[in-house]
Amino acid sequence: MTDLTCKLLIIGAGPGGYVCAIRAGQLGIDTIVVDEAAPGGTCLNIGCIPSKALIHAAEEFHRIATVADGPLGISAAQPSLDLAKTVAWKDGIVTRLTGGVAGLMKRAGARFVEGRARFIDGKTISVSKGEEVLEIRAEHVVIASGSAPVELPFLPFGGDILSSTEALSLTELPKSLAVIGGGYIGLELGTAFAKMGSKVTVVEATDRILPTYDKALTTPVADHLSTLGVTVMTDTTAQGFEAGRLATDKGRIDAEKVLVTVGRRPRTHGIGVEELALTLDGPFIRIDHTCQTSMRGIYAIGDVTGDPMLAHRAMAQGELVAEHVAGHAVEWDKRAIPAVCFTDPEIVTCGALPGEVEGTKASDFPFLANGRAMTCAREDGFVRVVYRESDRAVVGLQAVGAGVSELSAAFSLAIEMGACLDDIGATIHAHPTQSEALQEACLRALGHALHI
Q: What is the pLDDT of residue 74?
A: 87
Contact yes or no for 336/416 (Cβ under 8 A)? yes
Domain boundary among 239, 262, 285: 262
Q: What is the pLDDT of residue 71?
A: 85
Q: What is the pLDDT of residue 122?
A: 93
**Same domain? 206 vs 304:** no
Q: What is the pLDDT of residue 333?
A: 80
**Same domain? 171 vs 248:** yes
CA atoms within 13 A on the CB side of 72: 14
Q: Residue 427 belongs to a domain with what CATH number?
A: 3.30.390.30
DSSP, res 292:
B
**Same domain? 133 vs 278:** yes
**Same domain? 299 vs 313:** yes
Whole-Å CA distances, 10 to 119, 122, 412: 12, 13, 28
Q: What is the pLDDT of residue 77?
A: 84
Please report whether residue 290 resides in a domain.
Answer: yes
The total of structural domains in the chain comes to 3
Distance from the Cα of residue 156 to its chain's centroid: 24
Catalytic residue among 269, 328, 431, 451: 431
Please report whether residue 103 resides in a domain.
Answer: yes
Domain boundary among 273, 301, 325: 325
| pTM of the predicted structure, to 2 decimals | 0.94
**Same domain? 135 vs 269:** yes
Residues spanned by the domain of 101? 4-149+265-325
Please report whether residue 334 resides in a domain.
Answer: no
DSSP string, 192-244: HHHHHT-EEEEE-SSSSSSTTS-HHHHHHHHHHHHHTT-EEE-S--EEEEETT
**Phi and psi, residue 36, nearest 5°:** -85, -10
**Same domain? 112 vs 124:** yes
Please report whether residue 156 resides in a domain.
Answer: no
Please report whether residue 333 resides in a domain.
Answer: no
- Model confidence pLDDT, tens digit, residues 134-178: 999 999 999 999 999 999 999 999 999 999 999 999 999 999 999
Please report whether residue 155 resides in a domain.
Answer: no
- Model confidence pLDDT, tens digit, residues 372-422: 999 999 999 999 999 999 999 999 999 999 999 999 999 999 999 999 999
Q: What is the pLDDT of residue 386?
A: 98
Please report whether residue 221 resides in a domain.
Answer: yes
**Same domain? 8 vs 124:** yes
**Same domain? 46 vs 112:** yes
Residue 349 belongs to what H/E stretch? strand 346-351
CA distance 250 to 235: 9
Q: Residue 207 belongs to a domain with what CATH number?
A: 3.50.50.60
Domain boundary among 214, 247, 262: 262
**Same domain? 321 vs 391:** no
**Same domain? 316 vs 363:** no
Task: List CB contacts of 128: < 8 A, sequence separation 6 or more.
Answer: 115, 116, 118
Q: What is the pLDDT of residue 275?
A: 83
Whether 140 is catalytic = no
Q: What is the pLDDT of residue 2?
A: 63
Among the residues of 83-160, which ranges form H helices? Answer: 83-108
Which residue numbers in the chain have pLDDT < 50? 1
∠ at Cα 304 (301, 307), nearest 5°?
A: 90
Please report whether residue 209 resides in a domain.
Answer: yes
**Same domain? 364 vs 400:** yes
Contact yes or no for 87/166 (Cβ under 8 A)? no
Whole-Å CA distances, 126 to 2, 36, 114, 172, 411: 9, 13, 12, 41, 43
**Same domain? 228 vs 288:** no
